[in-house]
């Protein structure tokens, strides 16, 4: 069994005064910390509708032994249940890393209005990194994509996680 590594990153305490993009990305960052403390790759996701959080999740691939248990997938299912509609046009997804093809596909299928991600992923990112599923020419839903909120913090956490993992094997 692999030894687990304690998360060296602290949760942040976002100010409730201004519920802008930074506020929701900070909540996603905290979910990434939750993922790390469970030995998961630290990716967190939050879905907001107006100023309200309708879903909040972290990567659970290992915990659930499920390759589809990415933070975004869990959050999208949760948001649809919470809103009572599979169409999430009025919602915004905040995620600490650029969605992979599966999750980016789910943002299109769920008609998410906006996707905000922190760290881009030139290898597997599907919202501009490796490919652009939000810009399929014949798709009738194109989520608006925003990047780089809290990029440094989220990148630092991911890099530290993989570095420590490599050391522990």
Instruction: Please tell me the distance from the alpha carbon of residue 72 to that of residue 4, in angstroms, as a whole number.
Output: 24
Please report how close the Cβ of residue 101 comes to Zn ion at its closest, in angstroms.
8
Please report how close the Cβ of residue 6 comes to Zn ion at its closest, in angstroms.
25
Instruction: Please tell me the distance from the alpha carbon of residue 101 to that of residue 133, in angstroms, as a whole number.
Output: 7
Instruction: Please tell me the distance from the alpha carbon of residue 18 to that of residue 36, in angstroms, as a whole number.
Output: 27
Please report how close the Cβ of residue 10 comes to Zn ion at its closest, in angstroms.
25
For residues 7 and 95, which CB has a smaller minimum distance to Zn ion in the complex?
95
Q: Would residue 52 show up in a list of annotated catalytic residues for this protein?
A: no
Hey, which residues between 26 and 65 contact Zn ion (CB under 5 A)? Answer: none
**3-state class of 106 per DSSP?**
helix
Is 103 a binding residue for Zn ion by CB under 5 A? The answer is: yes
Is 25 a binding residue for Zn ion by CB under 5 A? The answer is: no
How many amino acids of this chain bind Zn ion (CB under 5 A)? 4
Instruction: Please tell me the distance from the alpha carbon of residue 112 to that of residue 77, in angstroms, as a whole number.
Output: 12
Residue bearing tokens 């403390």: 37
Is 70 a binding residue for Zn ion by CB under 5 A? The answer is: yes
Please report how close the Cβ of residue 102 comes to Zn ion at its closest, in angstroms.
5
Residue among 33, 48, 76, 100 that touches Zn ion (CB under 5 A): 100
**3-state class of 32 per DSSP?**
helix
- Residues in touch with Zn ion (CB under 5 A): 70, 100, 102-103
Catalytically active residues are 72
């Amino acid at each position: 069994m692999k030894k687990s590594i304690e998360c060296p990153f602290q949760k942040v305490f976002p100010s409730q005064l201004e519920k802008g993009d930074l506020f929701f990305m900070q909540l996603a960052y905290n979910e990434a910390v939750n993922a790390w403390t469970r030995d998961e790759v630290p990716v967190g996701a939050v879905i907001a509708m107006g100023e309200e959080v309708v879903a909040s999740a972290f990567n659970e691939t290992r915990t659930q032994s499920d390759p589809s248990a990415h933070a975004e997938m869990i959050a999208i299912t949760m948001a649809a249940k919470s809103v009572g509609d599979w169409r999430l046009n009025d919602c915004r997804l905040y995620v600490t890393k650029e969605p992979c093809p599966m999750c980016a596909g789910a943002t299109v299928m769920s008609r998410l209005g906006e996707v905000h991600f922190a760290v881009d992923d030139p290898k597997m990112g599907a919202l501009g990194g490796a490919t652009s599923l939000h810009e399929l020419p014949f798709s009738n839903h194109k989520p608006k994509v925003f990047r780089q909120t809290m990029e440094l913090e989220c990148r630092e956490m991911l890099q530290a996680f993989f570095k420590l993992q490599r050391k522990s094997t």
